[in-house]
Amino acid sequence: MLEYKTQIIKLQNGTDLIANVALNSAEEYVLEEPMEFNIDFRGRGESGLVMRHWLPVQLLKKNSISIKTKDVLSVMEPEDEFCEYYLNTVYKIKELLKAKSLVDEMDDDEIQEMLDEFEDLRNDGDTIH
């Protein structure tokens, strides 16, 4: 059984990834939930983190890929905060994809019923803003 650890991978082509990584053999890594990231420098000392799926997850049964070790420039351990951000992002995306799948299976009457229930919740006088 493979042992996965959240790592930053820099590929030979310059792509930066964060993923749950396991060494499958001396010649191959397995990356689960790989996300490409970069720092967007906006000027005046401001910057932001941009993270997106590296694989077309909507088309895959499993968000996993094997890559040759020769294609990897370096493997690094992320800061705890970045690791937590990544894991939280992966979790939220999985939850959204599950919800989308459930809604896709609903008929129009079921969707309208759900919207009506949300409207009732919104109109409930107990909401505090």
Whole-model pTM over 0.85? no
Count how many residues are written for the chain. Answer: 129
Beta bridge partners of 75: 9
Q: Under a CB-based contact definition with an 8 Å cutoff, are residues 39 and 47 in contact? A: yes
Structure tokens at 15: 């792509």
Supply the pLDDT for residue 15.
Answer: 96
Q: Does 47 map to a domain?
A: yes
At 52, which CATH number?
2.30.30.100
Q: Does 54 map to a domain?
A: yes
Report mean pLDDT in 10-residue bins for the chain, 129 residues. 94 97 92 93 82 86 93 96 94 84 80 78 58
Which spans in the chain are helix H?
A: 80-105, 108-123
Name the residue range of residue 90's domain.
5-123
User: If we measure between CA atoms, which residue out of 110, 100, 101, 112 comes closest to residue 120?
Assistant: 112
Structurally, how many domains does the chain consist of?
Answer: 1
